[in-house]
Amino acid sequence: MCLRRVSVNLLFHQSSVRRSIMGAENSSQQAAQGGNVLIVDSDSMTGELVQFRLESEGFRSEIITDGRTALDRDLTEFNVILVDLMNQEFNGLMFTQAVKRNPDTFNIPVIICSVKSSEDDIVDGLDAGADDYISKPFSSRELIARVRSMIRRRRMMSVRRVSNIVRFNDLVLDLGAGTAFIDGEQISLTRTEYVILAMFMRNRNSFFERVEIRREAWEDDGEVSDRAVDTNISRLRKKLGEYGRHIINRQGFGYGFVE
């Protein structure tokens, strides 16, 4: 407890000195050039100290002390999320899992910051979807370096992934990851079902004959019957729920996804 207090006081002292040196105008200009960081930590004092350090390095930041409240925020505004494991009913692991299940937020880097530092704790955090794990007390320089690294990595990945996301309302396909979501919940599709859906959604309002679907969805379509195509599309419609009605069979044209 004493070591933690000393570490927190030292961090506060460093942040306060740095902030007093920087002018308000200069700080605002740097913030526009940095990134936007969300701090989710039930310990508001620790959160404020981290916030001071981030802002002194040119970041904008916001503190939320409850995971459920944080999920109600528009998380797409943030470049990185720092989350404590939090000893709450809805803890940091649950928050991380919720962020990573949502197709709108799953690519936002999440760094878990926690006093828990055992191997099991770190493994649990990474298994929950965290992109990094840093144990408290930590060096503020190390934290800033990791935040910057995550922002650089996300920008590089965003450039690569932008053409891989196909969306129709709340039905989202990530063609790079081979995943599909409805209302933020991942759909369990077979490879064949997924390939057919991707084919349809990449070419909405177009129609494909069964032979074209066989060539796209089966590696060896020589032994695949028209009935197998119909059966897979029928299963796919059921798994898509209300979106299944957008897959239609137009006589003389074939199957397609119609908006």
Q: How many helices (H) and strands (E) does the chain have?
A: 10, 11
How high is the pLDDT of residue 102? 86
At 96, list the tokens: 């991380």
Residue 165 pairs with which residues in a beta bridge? 174
How high is the pLDDT of residue 33? 52
pLDDT tens series, the chain, 259 aa: 443 443 444 444 444 434 443 443 443 444 345 689 999 999 989 999 999 999 999 999 999 999 999 999 999 999 999 999 998 899 999 999 999 888 788 889 999 999 998 899 999 999 999 989 999 888 889 999 999 988 888 777 655 555 688 899 999 998 878 889 999 899 999 989 999 999 999 999 999 999 999 988 887 666 788 889 999 999 999 999 999 999 999 988 999 999 9
Rounded CA separation 122/54 (Å) = 24
Measured torsion, CA atoms of residues 72, 76, 77, 79, in degrees rounded to the nearest 10: 120
Rounded CA separation 134/173 (Å) = 32
Q: Which residue has the tokens 């690569």?
A: 160
Q: Is 200 within 8 Å of 171 (Cβ atoms)?
A: no
How high is the pLDDT of residue 10? 43
Confidence (pTM)? 0.55
Q: How far is C-alpha 247 from the chain's CA centre?
A: 28
